[in-house]
Amino acid sequence: MSPALRACMATLAMMLSAIVGAPAAAQPAQGERENRTFVQPYIEVSQVLTAELTPGDNVLTFTQVATGVDTIVQGSNSAASLSVRYERNFGYGEAVDSDAISGVARGSVGVVPRALTLEAGALASRARIDGGGGVTTNPLVAEDQTSEIFSLYAGPTLATRAGILDITGSAFVGYNRIEVSDSLLSEEGEPLDAFDESVTYAGQIRLATRPGDGLPVGIGVGAGGFQEDVDTLDQRVRDVYLRGDVTVPITENAAIVGGIGYEDVEVSSRDALRDGDGNPLIGDDGRFITDAESPRLIAYDVDGLIWDVGVIWNPSRRTALSATVGRRYASTTYFGNFTYTPDSRSAFAINVYDGLTGFGGALTNSLSGLGADFSATRNALTGDLSGLVVGEDGASELGTLGSTRSTAFRGRGGSVSYQRTPGRTNAALVAGYDRRTFIGAEGTVFEPIDGQRDESYYVLGSLGRDLGRGGFLSANAYVNWFTSETDAADLTAYGASVAYDRALSSRLSARAAVAVDYFDSEFSDSDFAAASVLVGLRLNL
């Protein structure tokens, strides 16, 4: 097992210990949800058969042993959710042994009640990556094209009030890494432009008054910054800003907001080490070797005035809208978020984003955007995270889809989600679009892809139905289309799984599941399709 995998396991274990070791929440009153504790460890033993449908006809069998825990803790001053699983696959015949860990955790604890909070999050997942471009979050059992994705972040947030001033702020440090499959390394020595690792730093602070506190309008001033240090070619993405804003009430539930300020954005990198003929050198990991002695070259440098104007609308506690248009990154930008929760069982959300970062920064932003009360859906056959996360404010994609290039980019896109839970039937659906325009410095090996785009369209869905008498039926499905203007391979991937669980006792249950997966990638000479079947037992501890 790799050092990064062991480190991520240790981090998840420490977070789990902190959660489980926390004092149990008081029993809530009827209808109250603020304080609750749920911890469910389990052990699973299953037999898995995977049949390749195309281009070959291999049939592989495995015995799968897994252990994991699902946890939700909510208290008056802390909250956490965690889903972590470790599995070991024992292969028969031509099948090889393998192990994997997958999990996602998000938690917060109040250091100073109603003022200072410490937040942390972690992610460990597997994915199938083709040619440094497209990615799908549903690798097959013991598949040789499986890569591992890790993300960690932690930091404090501040939200307090001093007189008429609202004071908010945050500071985070994050680490992200992809350990790619050896199958992605080209025998011809072609470079692999897949993200390796990065460290991210982010912080912001804002002081503001509310409308009616001395003035009929609200006034605010804020400053912040973001930096990502990407290992490949020593890339650095840096963004600092200072801005003021005003909130003008229009009705009791609506207001016009506007802001103006100054921003300085810079993306830079070094070049790859080159041989005597000027050809870039490639390391054993398939990636470019950074020339540490080369000068830092500017790939993107924009500074000057930024502005935005928009609307905030909160007609009820169940509906919220925030939408703005403005000028940033020397072009027009759009941001927006809409949530509608008609009742306690359902939620609908729309999100539009625009930002400049690397793969690691995008992953950290997605992880930190999770609430502290969520459930992560898993593939019924492999136990891997499906990428679909369901929380109080709706369902979302965890951010592991999209291009995996190591090059910094401007990412724009949006998603629409719907969820319905709890009840005898629960469902979640997310559809989204992600476009990444890459930034490469002139005179470096990334110059040819400067301004080129990778685009991803995806749909993730899950459905569960309580059949009564200890029976439960669940289904998951995904579709991912990836296209690239670069030399990365286009990808189409889709699949579905159905599982039936039957309680044999209060703690023991049996499961039967079937899945079909299809990958059409230009990285491979032919399409790939496979069907898998699982039968097994689960013991809740």
Say which residue, 100 or 184, is predicted with more confidence: 100
Mean pLDDT highest for which of 2-6, 324-328, 467-471?
324-328
Does residue 266 fall inside a structural domain? yes
> Residue 331, class by beta-carbon neighbours within 10 Å (0-12 exposed, 13-18 middle, 19+ buried)?
exposed
Report pLDDT for 97: 83
Report pLDDT for 228: 97
Report pLDDT for 21: 40
3-class DSSP state of 329: coil
Q: Which amino acid is at 405?
A: R
Q: How many of the other CB atoms lie within 10 Å of CB of 191? A: 17
pLDDT range class, residue 142, cuts 50, 70, 90 = low
Residue 171 is encoded by which pair of tokens?
Answer: 């500071």
- Plot region of 234 (φ>0 → left; ψ -120 to 50 → alpha; else → beta): left
Say which residue, 135 or 336, is predicted with more confidence: 336
Report pLDDT for 180: 78
Which range marks the domain in which residue 273 is found? 3-23+34-540
Residue 410 vs residues 9, 294, 330, 376, 434: alpha-carbon distances, Å = 32, 25, 12, 28, 10
Does residue 273 fall inside a structural domain? yes
Does residue 419 fall inside a structural domain? yes
Question: Looking only at Cα atoms, what is the longest distance across the chain?
Answer: 77
Task: Measure the CA dihedral 310/206/220/300, to 10°.
Answer: -50
Does residue 138 fall inside a structural domain? yes
Residue 319 pLDDT > 60 = yes
Q: How many of the other CB atoms lie within 10 Å of CB of 50? A: 23
Task: State how far the Cα of 389 lies from the Cα of 396, in Å rounded to an integer.
Answer: 5
**Domains in the chain, number:** 1
**Where are the strands (E) in 113-217, listed by range?**
116-129, 135-136, 146-162, 165-179, 197-208
Does residue 97 fall inside a structural domain? yes
The stretch 238-262 carries a mean pLDDT of 96
Pick the closest to residue 243 from 306, 153, 295 (CA basis): 306
CATH of the domain at 189: 2.40.170
> Residue 493, class by beta-carbon neighbours within 10 Å (0-12 exposed, 13-18 middle, 19+ buried)?
buried
Mean pLDDT highest for which of 127-136, 174-183, 255-264, 487-496?
255-264
Task: State how far the Cα of 142 lies from the Cα of 97, in Å rounded to an integer.
Answer: 7
pLDDT range class, residue 22, cuts 50, 70, 90 = very low
Does residue 28 fall inside a structural domain? no
Does residue 29 fall inside a structural domain? no
